[in-house]
Each structure stands twice: as C-alpha cells, then as structure tokens.
Chain A
C-alpha cells in the first residue's frame, strides 16, 4: 500500500533561485489491486507523484509511505529496492536502444538477480501476452511506437511487481494503439496488480470507469471512485 501524507514538493529554479511548488499538502492512499488514474493538466504535478512513489524524488515536507516504509529513510543508492517492486511505463518508452526486445524485458529480471537463461520462458510468455513474440530479437528502433510501448509494458510486468506506474503511456500513440495499451493495462489490473496511471486523455479516463484523482496546480481537487475527467 502507498500512502501520501501532507506531501509538498518544491523545485528551485536554476535561474533566479525561485521556489516553484510542484505539490502542496497532497494526501491520499492507494490500496493493493486498485486502478487509480491521476488526471490533470500538464505540469499539474502528476509525474512528480509517480516519481515520489518510485523514490526518484523526495518530498520537501510530509511523507510517502511505501508498504510501511517511509521513503525519506531510504538512501539514494538503496532506492533500487523500491524500484524492483515497481513496473514503470513511460510516455517516451525509455527502452535501452542497444538491447533487443527480449533483452530489454529480461533486464528487469536481471536487476532483481534472476538468471536470464532460466527466465527465458517467462520472458517469452510475457512477450506473448503483449503480442511481440515474433519481434523478440528486434532492436527498439526497428519497432513502431505501439510496439515499443508494448515492450515497455512487458518490461514493467516481467518481474511481477506490486505496483505498475504508467506515466502518460498513450501520450505518443494514435487512438488505435492507445486503446490497445489500455486494454492490456486493464487486463493486468484484473490479474491483481495495482496500477497508478497518469494521463490527461479525457477519453481514456472516461472509458475505464475507475478511481480518478484530479490534480490541479499541485493540489488534489477531486478524488472519486468511478470518476470522470474533470477540468
């Protein structure tokens, strides 16, 4: 379970050393197995929330509790322990360009200390789930945007994470591929994984009919079950 307790985050701009608040006293929690959509305009603070869950950013005030552990107590070099419990899907896919589809997916297993050879079947199973078995030996630049995002999803799933964080996963895709990706995410959620999705796509938010947290100017302005796009 994830819990945000009165979390504020300030960024200091390089020019003029101006303080820019990204989050202001945000409090909410995510239960196991939930599908939570964070929606709001660009710059509202959605990505900052995801980065805090992944321990990539620390709060300026308040605390983020990840399965009972305050992320403030985790040193930067030990943050991998948290990240190994997560699956991250990015808008720009963030695949490793010199690794094949298979290796990109297997990498998430390798970092957790699993033997890639033994995990071969598992990787192929996940690639089958996202429909990329035939493209396992291709490099990311040889794939379409949708295929790259499916690889990214496969990488996020392979180590059976507790939570999947999806930051604008359909932002770079056409409506057809977007629906495809959302279907995969829904399937994963039905299988028991917790999903935290950040998006500003109205159609997607209104279609999935799950919990929606609306963020505006660093504050939570609405948090409702079966929510709809607001703003």
Chain B
C-alpha cells in the first residue's frame, strides 16, 4: 500500500492558506514578548531607513541651493555697447553647459547696489561722485559648477577677450569648486552611510528573528513529529515575521510623521527654506512603500532564512 496522501483532498488551497495566516496571527499575539522584540528591531530599521530618505532629500536640497548660488560673472569694458553684449549673450546661451544667463546693465547694477546699501556710507559716497562706476555684465549659471571653466574660456577667446574687462573665475572659481566638492562629498557620505547602516540593520534583524525561531526549535520538531509538512511549519513563521514587520512599519510611519510635523517650523527657519514636511508629503506614497517594504520584507526574508535550517528537506 502506498502511503502518499493528498494533503488537499479534504481542504482547498484557500483554507490551507487561511489556516497558515490564522496560525501566524495567533503565534504573533500569544508570543507577545518575542513579537515585540522582533517588531522593535524592525521598527528601528524602518525609522532609520525613513531618516536616511529624509536626510538624502535634505542633502539634495542643500546641494541644489549651493549650486544655484554659484555663477560666473563677466564684466565688459565701458566702451562696449549693449548690442554687442546682447549678441555675445545669445552666442553663450547656445552653449550646452549654460543653464541660464542674465544681462545686467550698468543702471541695473547701480540700482541693485543702491537698494542693498540704502542709507550707508557706500551709497552716500556713490551719490556724491555723481557717476555710475558699474559696468555692464553677464551673470551666467552653468548646468553644473564644474562647467564654469568652459564658459570662462569662451570669453578668453581672441575675438571676445578685447571686450571683456574681468571674469570672476580666479578666487571665486576655487570657492565654487570647494562648495561643489563639499556638496558631492555630503551626497557620497550619505550614500555610503545608507549602505552601511542598511547592512547593519539587516544583520541585526536577521539575528533577532533567528534567535526568536531558535527558541522555538523544539516546537518545530514537534510539528514535524506530528506529521506537519514543511510548508505548514514554515508558513506561520513567515506570517509572524511579516506581521512584526507590518506593525513596525505602521508605528514608524506614525512616529516619523509626528517628528516631521514637530521639526517643520524649526528647520524652515534654520535652513532657509528646507520644508521637511513638504518633502515627506510629496513623497508620501514612496515613504509608505519604503516603510512597508522594508518592514514586511525584512520580517519575511529574515524568517525565511532563519526557519530554513530547522526544516528537514
């Protein structure tokens, strides 16, 4: 007589899955401390992941801000007329490195200076001499700070150089490069930090789940002896891991939202416009997906690997 029995002879696949889910839910509820410990570790990981996401958003904001403030200004000799400068402007505009270009006439420059230095000695002296010492200039922003050199080179060409009085690519160029390097370094450090912390988080979560399952190895043995198939032993543990991940993600979502709300005003004033709440809310679906994916994924994968060694295959 052959012994093979059809497991699903008297139950459907839906019932089988239902049985596994109910088993996992009951274990999750009844093993309160183990579930709490696992969920706590996953919660820390999810919160860390969320912080890194916001941190990266912040780094991007500041890098953009620094880069936006970097420009190349080209000052023209007094003798150069407006049309020539505008003609050069239209030529420069066609360069792929150029993001934006603005013509500033001597009158505009005078007005800007006067507004910025109202009622101070500079403004008074300027009024006293009765002349406008400002030169016409082009204010150019490049697509990336490294490209300002190419733009500066354009104005050093033989046919253009006679019109130009000065290009601020000497000391200012070094500053631009420094800022640019800082921004790139901060981005790289953020990325490396994310990778290292993620690896640490995965190892800690896996070990917590492993210890939790290890403490139940006798029960796994009993399940086998009673005649449970591997999938029926494994299933509830996977559901339990996923539930721990789900609750961890939910709590992390609530706490991170509260933290973002509390930090919003302070960060706005300190950072000159970095709206952490807006960043969070515009990426809300991404944040929820990240938290659920990280939480449930970590719980599921860690449980799957941890239970594997106790299953006889």
Measured CB to CB, the residues of A under 8 A from B are 54, 56, 66-69, 74, 76-86, 88, 94-99, 103, 107-108, 110-116, 155, 159
B218 at the interface (CB under 8 A from A): yes
Stretch at the interface among B76-84, B224-232, B290-298: B224-232
How close is A52's CB to chain B, nearest CB, in angstroms?
13
Is A110's CB under 8 angstroms from B19's CB? Answer: yes
- Interchain CA distance A230-B252 in the complex, whole Å: 67
Given A96-B219, A98-B26, are A111 and B229 also a contact pair (CB < 8 Å)? yes
Chain B, residues 154-194, CB within 8 Å of chain A (1/0): the string is 00000000000000000000000000000000000000000
The one of A76, A88, A98, A113 in contact with B313, judged by C-beta atoms closer than 8 angstroms, is A76
CA distance A115 to B27 in the complex (A): 19
CB pair A115–B11 under 8 Å, yes or no, is yes
Closest beta carbon of chain B to A156's beta carbon, Å: 9
Q: Which one of B4, B9, B10, B227 has the highest number of Cβ atoms from chain A below 10 Å of its Cβ? A: B227
Question: B7, B27, B219, B223: which contacts A113 (Cβ < 8 A)?
Answer: B7
Q: Smallest Cβ distance from B268 to chain A, in angstroms?
A: 50
A-side binding surface: helix, strand, loop or mixed?
loop
Chain A residues whose C-beta falls within 8 Å of the C-beta of B30 in the assembled complex: 98
B228 touches A111 (CB 8 A): yes
Q: How far is the CB of A75 from chain B (nearest CB, A)?
A: 9
Is B9 within 8 A of A98, CB to CB? no
Q: Known contacts A115-B11, A115-B15; is A98 also within 8 Å of B27 by CB? A: yes
Least CB distance from A160 to B in Å reads 13
Partner of B226 from the list A74, A77, A88 (CB cut-off 8 Å) is A88
Nearest opposing residue in chain A for B30, CB measure: A98
Chain A contacts of B226 at CB under 8 A? 83, 88, 107-108, 111, 155
| Cα–Cα, bound, A77→B1 (Å) | 20
Q: Residue B2 at the A interface, CB < 8 A?
A: yes
B10 with A114: CB separation less than 8 A: yes
A-B contact pairs, 6 of them (CB 8 A): A67-B3, A94-B221, A97-B219, A103-B26, A113-B9, A114-B11
Q: B218 and A94: CB pair below 8 A?
A: yes
* Residue of B with least CB distance to A75: B313
Q: Are A66 and B3 closer than 8 Å at their CB atoms?
A: yes
Checking A79, A82, A111 against B312 with a beta-carbon cut-off of 8 angstroms, the contacting residue is A79
A186 vs B19: C-alpha distance in the bound complex, in angstroms? Answer: 34
Q: Report Cα–Cα, A112/B3, bound state, in Å.
A: 13
Residues of B within 8 A of A103 (CB): 26
Besides A83-B225, A86-B227, A110-B232, 15 other A-B contacts (C-beta < 8 A): A67-B3, A69-B1, A80-B227, A83-B227, A94-B221, A95-B222, A98-B26, A98-B27, A98-B31, A98-B219, A111-B223, A111-B228, A111-B232, A112-B227, A113-B11
- Alpha-carbon gap, A82 to B6, bound state (A): 13
**Contact check: which of B2, B5, B15, B223 meets A84 at CB < 8 Å?**
B5
Query: Does B5 contact A115, Cβ atoms closer than 8 Å?
Result: no
Complex Cα distance, B29 from A103, in Å, reads 15
Q: In the complex the two chains form, what is the Cα distance from A74 to B3 in whole Å?
A: 10
- Give every chain B residue within 8 A of A95 (Cβ-Cβ): 222
Q: Is the pair A108, B227 in contact by a Cβ cutoff of 8 Å?
A: yes
Q: Which of A56, A84, A98, A116 has the most CB of B within 10 A?
A: A98
Q: Within 8 Å CB of B8, what residues of A?
A: 113
Set B3, B11, B26, B224: member contacting A81, Cβ < 8 A: B3
List B contacts of A155 (CB < 8 A). Answer: 226
| Given known contacts A96-B219, A114-B11, A68 and B229 CB-to-CB distance under 8 angstroms | no
* CB-defined contacts of A67 to chain B, threshold 8 Å: 1, 3
CA–CA, A54 and B10, complex, Å:
24
Asked if residues B19 and A77 are in contact (CB atoms below 8 Å), the reply is no
Cβ 8 A contact of A69, one of B3, B221, B313:
B3
A81 contacts B4, CB within 8 Å? yes
Q: Is B113 an interface residue (CB 8 A)?
A: no
Q: Report chain A residues within 8 Å CB of B19.
A: 110, 116
Q: Are A77 and B5 in contact (CB under 8 A)?
A: no
Question: B16: CB under 8 A from chain A?
Answer: yes
Chain B positions 266-306 with a Cβ under 8 Å from a chain A Cβ: none
CA of A116 to CA of B18 in the docked complex: distance in angstroms? 11
B4, B7, B218, B226 — which one has the most chain A CB atoms within 10 A of its CB?
A: B226
